[in-house]
């Protein structure tokens, strides 16, 4: 394993002592051990490979030199270079925390799909057994094409569900799942009609469809959906429409200045519905705003990533961006699978990635479906100025009714 200069010996030792390995969720005994570890350390389990091998491994055409190589495609130059660098640091931390014998092959995708395709080609030429990344939707297709020709899989960080499938798996935070989780919880509390306030944008359309589908799934009334202009400054029209609608909950799918305009108006408009949000609120700069106090949203339990965030800040002088955990968990996933015998085949084959028992990482349990989309176990959180509190814990296995 090649040591990366940006991760010190101190972090390697401390990380191994304080952050346990990502585990595969396979069997009651393994789950009980993982839960016991969670109770003891109150952090995410460190990835500890188990003995069960993936079934029906596919034949590998990669060099059989005993080294597993992982291509890591991130924007290390361009407008998102700071985020790409932070994700690379998190990936490096995972290599040392897990103690895995995989070799990272970092490549720069910049801001261009062409550069992403070339980055994939370069990593594959050096023997990559799997590709982690890219981050942007527009870059997934050229990367997937290169990987498909080489017979390997891609675990990308995009939220564009149209890019998933075939050899592409999305390890991201999908807004559809956050909507499903919060509506399901609201329905369990007796809420029957939901309203959505969202910008008139591609994101607004995604969450609108998600809410409509969730309403059908949980057998509640058809939702009230109001999309507003991206330059909204006067919430009066929205206020009037909500006042004439009998709803139990209002989901505001927004952040930034528009959220500060839309969310507070519920309190002084006479609308007594429960305020709810989306996974966009999984950010201290958002969920600690006083006007959101008491609001609910669905996201990974932040206490799980507290240790990682603390160590990252100590090592690199500042907190990690929210997406850094995706890179960490992606590398930890390869570490878990690398420990599984694959009869000479690639341990990162499709059957292994689609283990129905799933995996557990910094952001909780996750698994990949046949469509390549990640499925996550999310908590229901309540926003507070001092930090979110857990209203309903995230599930710890995929055996519950929610799945």
Q: What is the pLDDT of residues 317-353, one digit of tens each?
A: 999 999 999 999 999 999 999 977 655 579 999 999 9
Give CA–CA dist 316/93, Å, rounded.
Answer: 11
Note whether 182 and 215 are within 8 A (CB). no
Q: What percent of the chain has pLDDT over 70?
A: 81
What is the mean predicted confidence (pLDDT) over 285-312?
96
Topology alike, domains 9-173+304-372 and 175-299+383-392: yes
**If you ran DSSP here, which 8-state letter would residue 21 be given?**
B
Task: Parse the chain into domains and list their residue ranges.
Answer: 9-173+304-372, 175-299+383-392
Burial class (CB in 10 A: 0-12, 13-18, 19+), 370: exposed
Task: Give the model's pLDDT for residue 63.
Answer: 58
**Per CATH, the architecture of 175-299+383-392 is what?**
3-Layer(aba) Sandwich (3.40)
Q: Please calculate the CA angle 27-31-32 and round it to the nearest 5 degrees.
A: 115
**pLDDT at residue 44 in the model:** 32
Residue 92 has a CB neighbour count (10 Å cut-off) of 24
Q: What is the pLDDT of residue 177?
A: 97
SS3 386: coil
Q: Which CATH superfamily is domain 9-173+304-372 in?
A: Response regulator (3.40.50.2300)
Cα separation, 315 vs 310, in Å, equals: 9
pLDDT at residue number 62: 54
Q: Which residues contact 152 (CB under 8 A, 6 or more apart)?
A: 62, 124, 128, 129, 130, 131, 167, 346, 348
pLDDT interval class at 49 (50, 70, 90): very low
pTM for the full predicted model: 0.83
pLDDT at position 314 is: 97
Residue 47, pLDDT score: 34
Residue 366 predicted with pLDDT over 90 = yes
What mean pLDDT comes out for the span 256-273?
Answer: 82
Edge-first strand listing for the sheet containing 364-368: 23-24, 359-361, 364-368, 374-376
End-to-end distance of the chain based on CA atoms, in angstroms? 38
Question: Who has greater pLDDT, 232 or 182?
Answer: 182
| Structure confidence at residue 264 as a pLDDT band (50, 70, 90) | confident
> Residues 131-141: what's their mean pLDDT?
98
**At residue 37, what are phi and psi to the nearest 5 degrees?**
-65, -40
Mean pLDDT, residues 290-307: 96
pLDDT digits (tens, 9 = 90+) for 79-91: 999 999 999 999 9
Q: Please name every residue paired with 107 in a beta bridge, in sequence order, or none if there are none.
A: 73
Per-residue confidence (pLDDT) for residue 226, from 0 to 100: 94
- Higher pLDDT: 187 or 261? It is 187
Axis-axis angle for helices 9-18, 81-98 (nearest 10): 70
Largest CA distance in the chain: 68
Summary count for the chain: helices (H), strands (E):
13, 16
* CB 190 within 8 Å of CB 167: no
Counting residues of the chain whose pLDDT is more than 90, the rounded percentage is: 70
Q: Which residues share a beta bridge with 71?
A: 105, 131
């Amino acid at each position: 394993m090649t040591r990366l200069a940006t991760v010190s010996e101190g972090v390697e030792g401390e990380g191994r002592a304080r952050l346990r390995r990502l585990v595969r969720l396979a069997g009651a005994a393994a789950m009980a051990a993982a839960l016991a570890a969670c109770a003891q350390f109150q952090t995410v389990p460190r990835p500890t490979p188990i003995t069960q091998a993936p079934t029906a491994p596919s034949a590998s055409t990669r060099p059989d030199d005993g080294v597993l190589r992982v291509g890591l495609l991130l924007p290390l130059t361009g407008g998102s270079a700071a985020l790409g660098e932070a994700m690379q640091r998190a990936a490096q931390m995972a290599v040392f925390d897990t103690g895995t014998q995989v070799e990272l092959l970092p490549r720069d995708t910049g801001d261009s799909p062409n550069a992403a395709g070339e980055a994939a080609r370069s990593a594959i030429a050096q023997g990559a057994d799997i590709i982690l990344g890219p981050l942007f939707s527009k870059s997934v297709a050229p990367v997937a094409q290169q990987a498909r020709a080489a017979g390997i899989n891609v675990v990308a960080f995009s939220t564009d569900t149209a890019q998933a499938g075939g050899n592409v798996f999305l390890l991201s935070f999908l807004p559809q799942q956050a909507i499903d989780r919060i509506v399901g919880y609201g329905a369990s509390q007796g809420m029957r009609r939901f309203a959505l306030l969202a910008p008139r944008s591609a994101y607004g359309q995604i969450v609108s469809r998600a809410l409509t589908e969730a309403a059908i799934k949980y057998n509640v009334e058809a939702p009230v959906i109001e999309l507003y202009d991206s330059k909204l400054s006067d919430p009066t029209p929205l206020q009037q429409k909500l006042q004439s609608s009998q709803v139990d909950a209002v989901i505001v799918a927004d952040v930034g200045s528009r959220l500060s305009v839309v969310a507070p108006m519920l309190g002084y408009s006479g609308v007594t519905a429960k305020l709810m949000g989306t996974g966009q609120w999984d950010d201290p700069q958002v969920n600690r705003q006083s006007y959101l106090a008491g609001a609910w949203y669905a996201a990974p339990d932040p206490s799980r990533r507290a240790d990682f965030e603390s160590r990252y800040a100590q090592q690199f002088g500042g907190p990690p961006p929210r997406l850094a955990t995706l890179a960490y968990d992606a590398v930890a996933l390869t570490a878990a699978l690398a420990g599984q015998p694959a009869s000479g085949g690639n341990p990162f084959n499709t059957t292994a990635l689609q283990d129905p028992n799933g995996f557990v990482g910094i952001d909780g349990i996750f698994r990949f479906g046949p469509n390549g989309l990640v499925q996550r176990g999310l908590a229901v959180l309540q926003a507070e100025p001092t930090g979110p509190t857990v209203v309903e814990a995230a599930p710890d296995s995929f055996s519950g009714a929610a799945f």
